[in-house]
Structure formats: structure tokens, C-alpha cells
Structure 1
Amino acid sequence: METQRKLKGQGTRTLMLAATMLLTAVMAHSASGQPPALSVEEALRRQPKYPGLLISTPPAEQWKTCKVEPILNPKDGRTPLGYVVRDSAGLPLRQFVSYDNQSYNIVAYYYNGVEAFREVYPTRTTEPVQYRWLGPNGSKWGLDRNRDGLVDEWVVLSPEELSQELLQAILTRDSRRAEALALNKSNLDYLGMPADKAGPLLERAARVGQRVLEAAEQLKLSPQTRWGHLELAPPQTIPGDTWNLRDDWITHKQAMLLVYDGETARFLPLGEMVLVGRAWKLIDGPSLGQMSTTSQGPVITDAIKDLVAQLHEIDQQTPTPPTAEALASHNAQRVKVLEQILAKLPEGPQQEPWLRLLIDSLGGAAEGDKADGSYLVRLRQLKERLHQASSPLAAHAAFRLLLAENSLALRSASPESFAAVQEKWRKALEEFATTYPDSEDAPEAVLRLAMALEFTPQGESKAREWYTVLTTRYRQHSHAAKAAGAIRRLESVGKPLSLTGSLLGNGQTFDTSSLRDKAVIVYYTASWSSTLAEDARKLQSLLRDYGPKGLELVVISVDDDAKAAAEALTAHKMPGIHLFAPGGLDKSPLANAYGILVVPHILVTDKKGIIINRAAQMATLEEDLKKATQ
């Protein structure tokens, strides 16, 4: 509800989260009416309003193997409220939902069985059409207020997606598309920005459209120009209570966009951007003038532009598979180029963004090197130099050094020394978190510390304290959701299980509350889990023995890719109900719901839906089931 209220505050009025909208659609649907008829051909010929999206559409000769299935209204279990079109393997291709029995109000497009784009057409013409980029297509969420097929405002937009939209506005000389990216009055009204500060900000943002046209005229980019990379200055935060705002004022003071026009690298400063709700907004827009040397953003001069292009080429060749040795070699290449870049820049603010990249690359190279390797030595020396200079990057160098040293220590640890290595790791993390509480790496350090404490005897209460730090002091950070879920898990025994997610394969919503009078195993796994094959065989056996006694299995894959998840579960004949949400172990809403840190992880409930074991082990799982199925 908080997200919904924030979006409404930005002027969206009736914007709903997807699940809420679908529920409203179902409840409003008339049991006596039916949505328009739909054929496979009609469904698959329909394409998204926006081009260039990853969606699955089989060749026309395979359409005869596809089928249309009704989505039944839960109110009567008979009347369709829409249709799902599936391919020959049963994976969804399109989904159409109607809640006015006249047209399709929600149209969803899928890619490899995962929803990839959604169009929402409310019945009231005063409400905006919504477009959502999902799954492999990103995270954008745009509103089309006048229903002309173009986004007027973004309510979810990452910095990278903002820069991609801006590039398209430049290439098409579309000032309106650019203006949809700019900070506006409703954004500042929502935040409660004082008038004396709002006025200058709006004056700057009002020039975004004109700046796009000027950039297009000066750059004269070819239509084939492609997006390369977005380099951002570190985020800066002004607490909301400083200006009496609803949210914190979070900005990137500078951004530099790298694009490729054929083989030519071009660099475009984008100025300042600010986070409003879940969307980044432009304050300045593109400028071809030289960036100020006092700026915290990356300066790309003629002297280094060829080296930056080399760096981009290296980044396009990320090793697959990403073994420690391959990643170390990859980072070593980056170190070589970054050191050349720094040598061509004057000391001071111009070097800072490149120093940050060098720190990260030295850390990555050191993790795959020897314990006394040159990259670790250079990282230590750089960290000391930055500390002595009181550089704002000293904390970042200290954290990367901490990570590299721990990685190397774990690689060489013996069974006898492992506990000592872990104890040193926990102490180092706590020291970092208390020494650098305002650093950008502090939330990451706190999460790792809480995780490490949770897996020690009598460490859970201390872990809960650090998770709470994440949900309070660092509540705006993405790790806060994982921490909140972890607290929920640690306190879950004796409480009802509550999980809602999409079924792997058809994308339909599933809620564990529907498993009434069933004992439930919730098994978190991934295609890369080393225990998956053995666990699948054990779970098959347990279901054969305890299924007749009221046992159900819910399997949650935390893979990044739905196809990989489906293939792995099918290959190992994993039984049960399979759920999936994009984001992987770190960001999947299903993983974050209970703060899952590693896989496999097992929860067990009794027949009343109450969690009786929040960290069950496969070796002793049958003992839990004897109690759960009584």
C-alpha cells in the first residue's frame, strides 16, 4: 500500500500494483457476461505497442500446435474472464483479461514462459493506459495519460533505462519523449519540496526537451547508434527531514552516457538526476559542454576517450562461465586500462570515478590471485594512500580489500582453521560497519555481517539486531527487503505461512493460503544447487509416503532465468507446485519474503498452515513431517 500511495502522490491517481489490479478485475467481472472471443492467430498476431521487446512468438507454421485456455472467474468457476495462449510445451505466450466484457483490459506478453511486457487499459477513459516492461525487458513502468500510445510519465525507471530512453529521444529528435523523463511539478508537490527550492529545479528541468534537440543537432548521430554504458557519480542523499520532505532527496550529481555510432565512441554528459518514488528523473538533461572539474561525475576528455572505448570492449567480454580464474583475468585487463586512464588525468575530482573503478577491478583481480599476489598488494597500497589523503573513496577501498582478503583466506582455509577465518571475517565486517556507517558499502557490510552471525551458535539475536539496522538506518537500500524477510523468517515459528507468487510455466498467481488442511514443505532451490538431484529423489519419496496423509510440496526456484529453472526441475523430476519470480537469490520477491540467504532452504508447516520449522534439514525432514501430518 505504501508503494501505491507514493505512486498516487505523483499524480497517477488510480495506479495499482499488478496483483491488486488483477484481483479488482476478477471481482468486478460480471458472471453473466463473457470477454470477446479469441483465436490463436488473432492472439499471436497482436504485438506490443512498443517495438524491440523480447517476447515469444512461434513461427506461423507452429500456431496450429498452440491452444487457447480460458481463465475462469473464481466467483463461479465457469465463466471465463480472459484467455491464456500456450505453445506446444504448455508455456504461456499471451494472456488477455477483460473486466468489462467489451475489450481486453490487460494484455500480457511472455518470453520463455515469463511475463515480459504488460499493457493495461482501464475502462475509465480518465485513467492512464499503463505499459510495463518486465522480466528480460527490464523494470520500466510508464503512464500514457492521453492514450495516444506514448508514455507521458515514468513511475518506475532505473538510471540505465532513463539513459536509453534519452538516447532514443535524441535519435528521433523527440522533445516530448525527453520531457517525459524530466522532473516535474507533481513530483516536487508529492515530495513536499519548499517553493524556494522547487522553482530553480523546475527551471532547470524545463530545458530538458530543448537540450535534447540541441544535442541531436550537434551530434548528428546515425540511426544505428547504440547505447554503450552509463557511468554515474556516487549517489548523494539529503535526509527528508532536512527539508521536511516525504522521502529522502537522493541524486546522482553527474552522469556520463557512452554511445557507439558505428565504431566511433561518443560521450554525452547528462547532468543531475533525482529519485522520485521508484523512478529516476532528469534535472538537467544532455549537455555537450565540458563538465566542470569540480563535478563528481566522470570526465571523459579527448586524451582518454580511446581508452574508455577499450574498457567498454573489455566489459562486453564478460567470461562465461564466470570462474574465479576467468574473472580475475578479466579484472586484470580492466586494471591495465584504468591505470592508463588515471595517468592521463590530473589529480583531484576528475580522477575519482576512475579510481572507484580501479578499486573494484583490483579487488576482483586479487580474489583470483595468490594470497601475496601483486593485485592484493596494490589494493592495500591504494587503500592506505586514499586513507592518508582523507579521500571519500577510502571506505570503498577498505571494503573491497576486506572482501578480497576474506575470499583468499577461505580458499586456503583448512577444516581446523575455518572457524578462525569466519570469526576474523565477522569482526572485520562489524569494524567496517561501525567505522564507516555512512559509506555506500555499509549496507552490504551489514547484510553480510547479519548473514555470518545467523549461522553461528547463539548468533541469531545479534543477527536480528543487524538486520534491523538495515531496515531502519538503510531502509532505502535494496537490501532492506531481504533483511525484513530475514527478520520475518527468524520470528516465523508459530505463525502462518504466507507466500504468493507466479506458477512456473503458466505465470498464474498462486497463494499458499489455498493449501487448506495440508502440511506443507516449502523448498527453495536453484538449477545450480549441488544438492538438487539428491533432494529431488528424497522429496519424491517423502511425497509418496506422506502425500496420502495430507502433505504438499511447494518448490521455489531462485534462478535468474525461468527457462533454466523449468529445465532443471523437469530434468530432476522435481514433484510439487513450482513457483518462480525474476531477480535470483538476491532480489526475487519470493526469496526476499523470508530473507532466504542460501539454497537449499526448507520451511515446514503443519496442517493449520503454521510454520513449525523455519530451517529444516533434508536429513531430518521426515521427523518434521511425522509431526506436521498428525
Structure 2
Amino acid sequence: MRPQTPSALIVWLWRAVFLGAAAAGAALPGCNGSSDATTAASDESAVKTAAPLASIGAAKTAEAPPQLPEPVAGTPQSLLHEAKMLRMKPLAGVTSADQIAAAQLARQKELVRLTTEVIAKTHDEPASERTFDDAAFLLMNARLQLALCDDEQVRNENVDALYEHAEAFHRRNPESKAAAEAAFAVAKLAHENARRHGSQEWLEEFARQAQVFATKFPKEESRGPSLLFSAGWSCELHGLTQPATACYTQIADRFPGTEEAVTAAGSLRRLKLVGQPLQLGGSTLDGGYVSIDEYAGKPVLVLFWQASNPKVADLMPVLADLQAAHGENFGIIGVALDEDESAVREFLDSCGLKWKQIFFADPSKRGWKNTVAEFYGVKSVPALWLVGSDGKVRATNLSAETARQAVANAR
């Protein structure tokens, strides 16, 4: 068995970036993955769907295939054609959730049967490689839906089958499209289970499968870094810094020059900050300049924030209390990640704090393009860091609840 779903589900507020949007016959109860009616082209590019702050990009729209004559009955091409038509066929004559689930389950099982037969007839026929690849793609997609369904026995059988197929396709031809699609399907399985349950086991498996995919298929210069980055960021959200660091490191090593590599490099700097001196400085809202060096010998809180985020407003009373308690022996530096200067000024007028803001006059360096945020791979707000009186970073993940004690210990 592969990683198992825990009985106590952990809520994880991270939207899926892999399972494509459904076309006809959307995701249904009992098989909760992407729709079986989603086109193969959109499934292949689903990893490009933009996730919050991940800069993965948008999925491409598939062009309608040319109309071709139906293949000769009984051939692998005919079986593949039948599978494709079944996959796109709307469910008919079903209304209740149970009926829909049963019909969906039956459809996926039939797709497994048809595509398995195609693969058996074409696996050693070089002239039929495209047919083999198409069948492998459909097979892995059907297995994925079954591995995510509500029936425990069916689910477990197909989880194991996904891993076994991926290994078999890679042994057959490690550079084939079938091998790449199979490995990607296994990563999608791990991602979806991690998204649903937030368990450490599935999050770590997601990170592992992302690394396996990038290692085995280095030419996948779009899906490889996107997969690694999503896995790394997902692990970070749950405090799993070791697998996150491994994913970011592999992006930097294997896919230099990509957008993900730039952000991963910043994330690696941030993850290694604790215990190190902080480099921080930038233009201020009033046209001056502020540097962490100005606060030598004092504990300093650094807050990355946006005016529209309600959690930032929740932090203000805590920061005000700390400023009142410690006075001149304590500092706060803000890194404002809004694009609108008036929004920053309005928020500062209402919060009642005396603190300098890093905010650039150049609009191209505002928002998430703020050079400080980019340098340290900051991807969410509020992000509250603490620098001790010795100038070394003590924490990069403080909350309203932990900030008071952390400041007291940092003196």
C-alpha cells in the first residue's frame, strides 16, 4: 500500500493546481478527481493552471482535432477510438448522487479494460507507439479517478496500480511519452490526496514524486519546475521545511533560468535565515531609505503586509503593545506589498504605529515584485520575522500569539 489517508482529516486551504477543469461530465461524487470528460490536451497542461502566488501560468486551450474516418473494427486503433468516445460521452439516465457515482465508476473501469487491451496489442510494435502513448495516457487518467473514488477497495487497488504502471512504462522506455505521463499521474495522485487531507505523509509523498518526475524527465522544462515548486510551497505551508528545501534546491539545480528557479532561490535564502544576520533595506514611503543596520543592538520585527489582508489588521494591536512596552529599545520595519500608494498611506494613518515602510516609488517594484519580497521568496502575507538584538534572525514565521514572547526572548 502507498501512503494512507488518516481518519482525522486536516483542513488544508490550498487549491488544486493539477486536476483540470471539467468539460462535459464534471467531477462527480464517488470519483472526485478531474472529470473523465476533460480533454487529454487540457489534462496534459493542467499543471500550468495558475495557483495563488505560484506563477505557474495558464492552461492552453486544445484545438479541435481533425475529423478522421473511424478505424477498422477490432484493431487497437478501434479500441482506442472507443475509449476516447466513452470518455467524452455525457452520462445519461442518471439523476441521484449514488447513480452518478456508480455510472462514473463503471465508466472508469471500462476505460481501464479498453486501454489495457490496446496496450497489450501495441507495447512491442514501434509503428504503433502513438497509439500506445494515447492508451497509456487514458489508462493512467482512469486509474487516477478510481484511486480518488469513495470505494476503499477500488481506491486502494488503483493507487497500487498507478505506481506499478509508472514503473512498468519507465522500464519499457524511460524517454517515452507514456513514461512521463504515468509519472505525472502518480504526482497528481499524491498532490490531490495532500490537498484533500493535509497529512504529512501525503505531503512528503507529493514532494518525493515531484522530485522523481523532475529527475527522470529533465526535458520537462514546463511541468518539472512547476511540479517541484508546488510541492515545495505546499510543504512550506505545513511547516515541512526539509522536503520544501529539497524541492526548491532541485529547481535551482535542474531548471536554472526559469521563473520558478528565481523564486525558489529566494525561498532557499529565507528558509536558511534563522541564526544568520539579515540583509534588509530599501526605499521608504517618504522618499528616504531604511536599513536593518539602523537598529543595531535592538530586537526588530519585520512585517511583510498588504492593507487589504484582514490578518494584518489583527496584528496591529500586538505591535502597538510591543512598541508601547519597549519604546526606543525596539524596532519595527514594514515591507508594504500593496501596489497602490494611497492604500498604504490610508492603512498607516489608521493603525497608529510609528514604523518605517519599505515601499518603492517605481511601480514595477511594488506588490509581489517588491525586491525585498522577491529576494527572500515571500509568497504570502502577513509574514512576521524577528531579528534579535545581536542582529541575527530568530524567527520567520511568527504570529500574533507568539510575537510577544519571542520579542521578550530576543533582547
Normalising by structure 2, report the TM-score.
Answer: 0.51
Give the AA of the match of 1:538. V
Q: 1:479 to 1:580 in 2, by over 3 A?
A: farther
2:134 corresponding residue in structure 1: 385
* Displacement after TM superposition at 1:421 (Å): 5.6
* Displacement after TM superposition at 1:534 (Å): 0.8
Any residues of structure 2 matched to 1:452-601 within 5 Å, and which? 452-456=234-238, 459-504=240-285, 506-548=286-328, 550-573=329-352, 575-580=354-359, 582=364, 587-601=369-383
Deviations 1:312-331 (A, max 9, x none): xxxxxxxxxx999xxxxxx9
* Displacement after TM superposition at 1:612 (Å): 2.1
Identity in percent = 23
Provide the rounded CA distance (Å) in 2 between the counterparts of 1:526 and 1:339: 40
Any residues of structure 2 matched to 1:145-224 within 5 Å, and which? none
Q: 1:429 to 1:532 in 2, by over 3 A?
A: same
Q: 1:444 to 1:617 in 2, by over 3 A?
A: same
* Displacement after TM superposition at 1:609 (Å): 2.1
* Displacement after TM superposition at 1:401 (Å): 10
Asked whether the equivalents of residues 558 and 583 of structure 1 are also in contact (C-alpha less than 8 Å), the reply is: no
Larger proportion of strand: 1
1:449 to 231, 234, 245: 231
* Displacement after TM superposition at 1:533 (Å): 1.3
Asked whether the equivalents of residues 429 and 445 of structure 1 are also in contact (C-alpha less than 8 Å), the reply is: yes
Q: 1:404 to 1:557 in 2, by over 3 A?
A: farther
* Displacement after TM superposition at 1:527 (Å): 3.2
1:418 to 190, 198, 221: 198
* Displacement after TM superposition at 1:384 (Å): 6.8
* Displacement after TM superposition at 1:546 (Å): 1.7
What count of residue pairs does the alignment treat as equivalent?
262
Provide the rounded CA distance (Å) in 1 between the counterparts of 2:348 and 2:274: 28
* Displacement after TM superposition at 1:575 (Å): 4.4
Deviations 1:418-454 (A, max 9, x none): 3166455434433433343321231222222223334
Give the AA of the match of 1:596. V
Deviations 1:381-412 (A, max 9, x none): 9x9739669887996998699679957974xx
* Displacement after TM superposition at 1:621 (Å): 1.0
**Residue 446 of structure 1: SS of its match in structure 2?**
helix
1:603 corresponding residue in structure 2: 385
Deviations 1:99-155 (A, max 9, x none): xxxxxxxxxxxxxxxxxxxxxxxxxxxxxxxxxxxxxxxxxxxxxxxxxxxxxxxxx
Asked whether the equivalents of residues 601 and 615 of structure 1 are also in contact (C-alpha less than 8 Å), the reply is: yes
Q: Using CA pairs under 8 Å that are at least 6 residues apart, name the structure with larger relative contact order, 1 or 2.
A: 2
Q: 1:451 to 1:626 in 2, by over 3 A?
A: same
* Displacement after TM superposition at 1:620 (Å): 1.4
Deviations 1:339-372 (A, max 9, x none): 45x5599xxxxxxxxxxxxxxxxxxxxxxxx999
Any residues of structure 2 matched to 1:219-368 within 5 Å, and which? 338-340=62-64, 342-343=65-66
* Displacement after TM superposition at 1:611 (Å): 1.6
Q: 1:623 to 1:575 in 2, by over 3 A?
A: same
Larger proportion of helix: 2
Provide the rounded CA distance (Å) in 2 between the counterparts of 1:393 and 1:558: 43
**Residue 518 of structure 1: SS of its match in structure 2?**
coil
1:181 corresponding residue in structure 2: none
Normalising by structure 1, report the TM-score.
Answer: 0.35
Give the AA of the match of 1:580. F
2:406 corresponding residue in structure 1: 624
Unaligned ranges ≥5, structure 1: 1-321, 325-330, 346-369
* Displacement after TM superposition at 1:484 (Å): 2.5
**Residue 357 of structure 2: SS of its match in structure 1?**
strand
Provide the rounded CA distance (Å) in 1 between the counterparts of 2:135 and 2:288: 52
* Displacement after TM superposition at 1:479 (Å): 2.7
Give the AA of the match of 2:392. I
**Residue 614 of structure 1: SS of its match in structure 2?**
strand
Provide the rounded CA distance (Å) in 2 between the counterparts of 1:498 and 1:521: 14
Asked whether the equivalents of residues 203 and 231 of structure 2 are also in contact (C-alpha less than 8 Å), the reply is: no
* Displacement after TM superposition at 1:604 (Å): 0.9
Asked whether the equivalents of residues 525 and 599 of structure 1 are also in contact (C-alpha less than 8 Å), the reply is: yes
Q: 1:429 to 1:561 in 2, by over 3 A?
A: farther
Question: Within the alignment, does 1:430 sit opposite 2:179 as a pair?
Answer: no
2:129 corresponding residue in structure 1: none
Q: 1:450 to 1:545 in 2, by over 3 A?
A: same
Provide the rounded CA distance (Å) in 2 between the counterparts of 1:597 and 1:625: 24
Asked whether the equivalents of residues 499 and 590 of structure 1 are also in contact (C-alpha less than 8 Å), the reply is: yes
Q: 1:428 to 1:566 in 2, by over 3 A?
A: farther
Provide the rounded CA distance (Å) in 2 between the counterparts of 1:409 and 1:478: 24
Provide the rounded CA distance (Å) in 2 between the counterparts of 1:531 and 1:491: 25
What do you get for the CA RMSD once the two structures are aligned? Answer: 4.6
**Residue 397 of structure 2: SS of its match in structure 1?**
coil
Asked whether the equivalents of residues 385 and 395 of structure 2 are also in contact (C-alpha less than 8 Å), the reply is: yes
* Displacement after TM superposition at 1:544 (Å): 1.3
Give the AA of the match of 1:449. A
* Displacement after TM superposition at 1:521 (Å): 0.3
